């Protein structure tokens, strides 16, 4: 499971010219689910995200978590995070999970993240063509892969 976290001052998802979700200060999370992901990946990644200290404290030091700043979270599914570009110029998405596996995992991830941060998580729409708008705060962008824990 791979996530790109962006600390944002605001972010939104628009589908067919309609805003589906929007947040103020917090995290925009682009989430890629792989064929080999499991509940352990969800548990580890949600715990890591909830506790990651990437928000500024009163001294301007990145020392606070999304929970500690009462930040909002928006999660958007993005299978292209598992693109393989090793051969040729057309990316392969063979390791990205197919919808029958990815959708339940996506829903479990959202549920668990809500439990970790003790508030609702905003979402995109799995499989939809989405326009994601954001104002990256910092900029701060972190990539986390549940298969690279060491």
Question: Which residue numbers are catalytic?
Answer: 80
* Residue closest to 6 by CA, chosen among 89, 79, 66, 82: 66
Residues 6 or more apart whose Cβ sits within 8 Å of residue 87 = none
- Helices and strands in the chain, H and E counts: 2, 8
C-alpha separations of 25 from 20, 42, 67, 87, 140 in Å? 17, 24, 12, 39, 13
The three-state DSSP-derived secondary structure of 92-139 is ECCCECCHHHHHHHHHHHHHHHHHHHCCCCEECCCCCCCEEEEEEEEE
Backbone angles phi, psi at 52, to 5 degrees: -65, 125
């Amino acid at each position: 499971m791979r996530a790109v976290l962006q600390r944002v001052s605001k972010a939104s998802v628009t589908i067919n010219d309609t805003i589906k979700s929007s947040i103020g200060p917090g995290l925009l999370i682009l989430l890629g689910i792989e064929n080999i992901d499991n509940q352990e990946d969800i548990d580890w990644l949600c715990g890591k995200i909830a506790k990651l200290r990437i928000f500024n404290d009163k001294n301007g030091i990145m020392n606070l978590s999304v929970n500690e700043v009462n930040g909002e979270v928006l999660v958007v599914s993005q299978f292209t995070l598992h693109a393989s570009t090793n051969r040729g110029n057309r990316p392969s998405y063979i390791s990205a999970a197919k919808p029958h596996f990815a959708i339940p995992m996506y829903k479990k991830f959202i549920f668990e993240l809500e439990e970790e941060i003790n508030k609702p998580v905003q979402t995109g729409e799995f499989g939809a063509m989405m326009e994601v708008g954001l104002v990256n705060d910092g900029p701060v962008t972190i990539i986390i892969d549940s298969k690279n824990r060491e």
